[in-house]
Amino acid sequence: MVDLGKIKQLYNFSKQLSFSDANELISAAQSNSFTKREIIIEEGSKMNTVYFVRSGMIRKYFINEKGEEITFALIPENYIVANVDVILFDQASRFYYEAIEKTKTFSIDYDVIQKIFESNPKLETNRKKFFQRIVREAHLRIEGFVLHTPEERYVKFIEKYPDINNRVPDKYIANVLGITPVSLSRIRARIVDRKMNTK
């Protein structure tokens, strides 16, 4: 069963979204289940499906000119996954989206969301919030690389995703933070040393 409370929290709908409004969206949604390592969206795809991650985790990555997979984002429960290249820029996806755990989602075609939102002023307001969230996340990521040290980025990342270290390989986390796995190990060691020295 879809947790409407979590959906409200994610979109920050608050009291503006009634149960009937939420139910209108849910009625258009489909439940999905993906196995570990299953590709959800391919590079080059123009799929415009929007996914809400109910359980599991999705990795967003690209393949560089050396043929290496570079992880761009890790998306856990209660977050949205969408082909942003299509929705925002009307171009094919530059990324792969892969379930890195057994993952359950519900999904809605973005064209359907558009129609529902356009016919309901309350929901139209929250469509803007959805885009604002995308822009905000992108801005914070750029800001993090400009204003924060790798260690500060790691600390903020772990504060946001406290169980991530136990769920994904270090190389994925290092990619997201823009550092090497060796640097990630050193950062963790420094943090542990400081905690030991303060005891």
pLDDT digits (tens, 9 = 90+) for 148-182: 898 999 999 999 899 999 999 999 999 999 999 99
Q: Rounded to an integer, what distance in angstroms lies between the CA atom of residue 142 and that of residue 106?
A: 29
pLDDT at 59 over 90: yes
Q: How confident is the model at residue 100 (pLDDT cuts 50, 70, 90)?
A: very high
Instruction: From 163, 55, 48, select the one nearest 111 (Cα to Cα).
Output: 48
Instruction: From 67, 73, 81, select the one nearest 34 (Cα to Cα).
Output: 81
Helices assigned H by DSSP within 42-95 = 84-89
pLDDT tens digits for range 12-23: 444 455 566 666
pLDDT tens digits for range 101-154: 999 998 888 888 787 777 777 666 666 676 677 677 766 777 766 678 989 999
126 Cβ contact list (under 8 Å, min separation 6): 11, 12, 13, 16, 17, 117
Three-class SS state of 47: coil
pTM for this prediction: 0.81
The 8-class DSSP code of residue 59 comes to: E
